[in-house]
Amino acid sequence: MKRSLIYPWMYLALFILTCGPSSAQDRYNILWITAEDLSPRLGAYGDRVARTPNLDRLAAGGVRYERAFATYGVCAPARHTLITGMYPTSTGAGPMRTWRRTSALASITDTALLNIPVYEATPPAGVKCFTEYLRAAGYYCTNNSKTDYQFRPPITAWDESSKTAHWRNRPDRSQPFFAVFNGEHTHESRTFKQVHPRFTDPADVTVPPYYPDTETVRQDIARHYDNIHALDTWVGEILDQLEEDGLLDSTIIFFFGDHGDGLPRAKRWVYDSGTRVPLLIRWPDGAGAGTVNEALVSFVDFAPTVLSLAELDAPAYMEGQVFAGGKQAAPRDYVYLFRDRMDPAPETIRAVRDERYQYVRNYRPELPYLGYIPYRDRAAMMQEILRLKEDGALGPEQWQFWATSKSLEELYDTQTDPDQIRNIAGDPAHFGKLTELRNAHADFLSTYGDLGQLPESELIRRLWPPAGAQSVTASPTIHVDGNRVRMESATEGASIAYRLSADENWRLYFEPIDLPGGTELEARAIRLGWKESEPSHKIIK
């Protein structure tokens, strides 16, 4: 990273001066509504079982994206991409949960499995949560409330991040906001038991051919639809609040899933069932209302796109491109998809998707597709699949559940085989497409590298050289000249947050500030992936 990133306030101040309009009040608000574990199972996408009137209405007033993809089929690395604008393979964020143990591993007693290392993904110096650039440009940024970024959420990222965070909490109602609301209604765990009222008849659901068509499987899919209905009701409440506040015509609204369905052979997998998500965008002026956009979109594009919509340029380290608004780039040729360790199950899978075909490269072909994931196995339909597998009763279209090893390469025509169960990599008629996508994968590796190819023990040493011990961010140095206060950290690329004695939340420092005499100041610095600094204190004379 450039040496100018040593003092982040210098970079951010230059960023605002060169890229932003004269007044933050002239900018649109931006609202993200995200859903956990959700494929495009909405009425707006042609799903006849889904009861989603609010989301369908949002789609009717906005643009529906047909080919939007998460980078991973699981939340933590996918959310890492969203917040940084970088591929997890560039930052060591690929394995499912790196920095803390969760309930997904709580039931494991095997000593070898419990030895999975704990570490924080560590981007290059100067990489920031993209919300810092919005905050520096005058946006009030709120997150309600999931983070799961593969590093400890820094105090510099949000004005507030909690279950009560809301645009309504900003002190100045004329201040533009970027607000995130995370819906948990459709999370995988909600299919483990009936949480919401039953609306969906199991007889009405479509069972994909990669599942056995049993009553248990139908029950779990129907329960997922019930959860989607609850999600839709919640989305409607947020949209009602926006309208009540008179903000509907000054806010750009995004709705999307954080990856595919929380069902077996969807969540955690690189196929469309695990990575393709619904994406709806409503523009304040109604531009494109009711239209469909079929361009390829990746999660790595979201951060630069939001900055562009806020009339800011994305920093050079971001690896995506702008896909919406006045400065959108040329359409993508490919999106790139990944799978690494999932809870205790080791894996390394990479995929390339164009508008029609998907190429899959299995770097651990000796492993079965169905690794040991006890959290996933809590689902009744997964227990049913495991029982049928043990009895030899799964059919040929369910081969990804019973295969004991994998092909080195896979190729699927999603137009003729939307369920991706017929591997045509060995068909000479498709060797041209196979070569094209294989080369696209090689080009990706040469351009971005792939830290996911390293064993995690070696990866940690790469992230935290030389011995794999986490560094501590240097505490801010506070310089006072009269009432003018300037802060810096000796850690390259560190961000600084501060608060005054009356503050509840942390403020982002990005340029010198003026404080009256007698003010008590506390400041901390953080570089992503490093430990937060010890606090620095100062009383302004």
Nearest to 349 by CA among 274, 424, 457: 274
Nearest to 520 by CA among 475, 488, 473, 478: 478
Active-site residue flag, 19: no
Residues contacting 149, CB < 8 A, separation 6+: 76, 79, 80, 83, 84, 121, 129
- 342 DSSP assignment: B
Terminus-to-terminus CA distance in the chain, angstroms?
37
Residue 405 CB neighbour total at 10 angstroms: 12
Q: Please, where are the H alpha helices in 85-191?
A: 88-91, 111-114, 131-136
* Catalytic residue, candidates 19, 75, 129, 141: 75
Residue 311 CB neighbour total at 10 angstroms: 17
- DSSP run (H or E) holding 359: strand 357-362
Task: Report the C-alpha gap between 7 and 439 in whole angstroms.
Answer: 40
Residue 10 CB neighbour total at 10 angstroms: 14
- 379 DSSP assignment: S
Q: Do residues 157 and 130 touch, judged by C-beta distance below 8 A?
A: no
By annotation, the residues acting in catalysis are 75
